[in-house]
Amino acid sequence: MKRVELIDLSKSYDKQIDVISGINVTIEPGEFFVLVGPSGCGKSTMLRMIAGLEEITSGTLKIGDKVANGLPPNKRELSMVFQNYALYPHLTVQQNIAFGLDVKKVKKPVQQKRAEDVAEMLGLTEFLQRKPRELSGGQRQRVALARAIVSESPICLMDEPLSNLDAKLRAHMRMEIRRIQRTLGITMIYVTHDQVEAMTMGDRIMILHEGKIQQVGKPIDIYNNPANPFVATFIGSPPMNLASAKNDSVSSTLLIGDTWHLALPANENYSHPSSELIAGIRPEHLRPATKDTPEADKFYVEVTNVEVLGNETVFSFELGGNEWMAKWSGQWHIDSGDRIPILIDTGSLCIFEADTGELIKKPTDLGNFVFGKEVLL
């Protein structure tokens, strides 16, 4: 296991505009670290810089205790799994798995033993004599993964390896890759644009946007306390609802979307050098009002779309020119055009400063959405 450190790392192709700028992060030994962001944010470029396939414009890359800026890829003690698998069509599965060992002049009996051991771990034993064209997409993905594992490198890089698979197979391979990483204890750096992959696989995730770090942390911490509106809407499905807001200190209310006046607790005031704010709340924190709910606490919304997903119901409505969504557990008989009374709690709100995007209020009441271990024991 090895640590990877990126110290003030930047990348520019024309020496004028940085496609990656000022990246500072330490990836711990044995950690599953995910780089996530929209297409074009620089995540694959960063992975290729770590691999030695892209030149570093400025900053320092350390692998273990060594500065790796000038090291060729074969001296960095890492393996890489590409998006397109990059298998040799004329070689068998076993030959594809052992190809890197052959290049390193590892003895044939050792090659065969290691290839067979890894194939057994990944359920490829019966396919060892087949060619890649005779395999399914998931099987080819396993061969690419086996080729990376068989090298026994302490660091493994993965560049969107599941993007070519169907949804069911992606879910299975997510669990498979995570299990293998834990079994081997290797440091894994994984690139994806899929926030579900990032949330379910990573020990920590780093969110990139336009070549800059937006937030680094544990998935659940980022979900609950997004650093800015971009992170709030990128992480989560459906994404966090956002609307413009203003703090009215005279009436002790928060005006959301120029429509909702939300009463504030006596000890809370979101006054700020800029009076322009952004209010955000997760769809699952918009709760249904009941007959016993005081009328003053209800907010009526007109439903514009409904999705019943079996175990939950998601519906949308407009607020201040933005589409908001609510997600309720169970099956609700709701139709487009219905007027629905809902509740919103200030404890579930995120408040951002509109100009800078800075988070100035974290949610303090997440209801039943966060459990401590003591609840389960």
Residue 322: C-alpha distances to residues 107, 247, 259, 308, 318 (Å): 64, 19, 12, 22, 6
What single string gives the DSSP state of each residue in 171-231? Answer: HHHHHHHHHHHHHHT-EEEEEES-HHHHHHH-SEEEEEETTEEEEEE-HHHHHHS-SSHHH
Radius of gyration of the chain (CA): 25
Confidence at residue 367, expressed as pLDDT on a 0 to 100 scale: 55
Cα(91)–Cα(88) distance, integer angstroms: 6
| pLDDT tens digit sequence for 57-76 | 999 999 998 999 989 998 89
The CA-CA-CA angle for residues 239, 245, 248, to 5°, reads 150
Domain boundaries along the sequence of the chain = 4-224, 229-365
| pLDDT tens digit sequence for 247-275 | 876 677 888 888 888 887 766 666 655 57
pTM for the model: 0.88
Strand partners, 36: 192, 207
The CA-CA-CA angle for residues 214, 218, 220, to 5°, reads 100
Query: 4-224, superfamily in CATH?
Result: P-loop containing nucleotide triphosphate hydrolases (3.40.50.300)
Confidence at residue 261, expressed as pLDDT on a 0 to 100 scale: 87
Which residue numbers in the chain have pLDDT < 70? 249-250, 266-274, 365-377
SS3 152: coil
CATH number of 229-365: 2.40.50.140
Give the pairing of strands 212-217 and 204-209: antiparallel
Residue 321: C-alpha distances to residues 238, 257, 317 (Å): 18, 8, 10
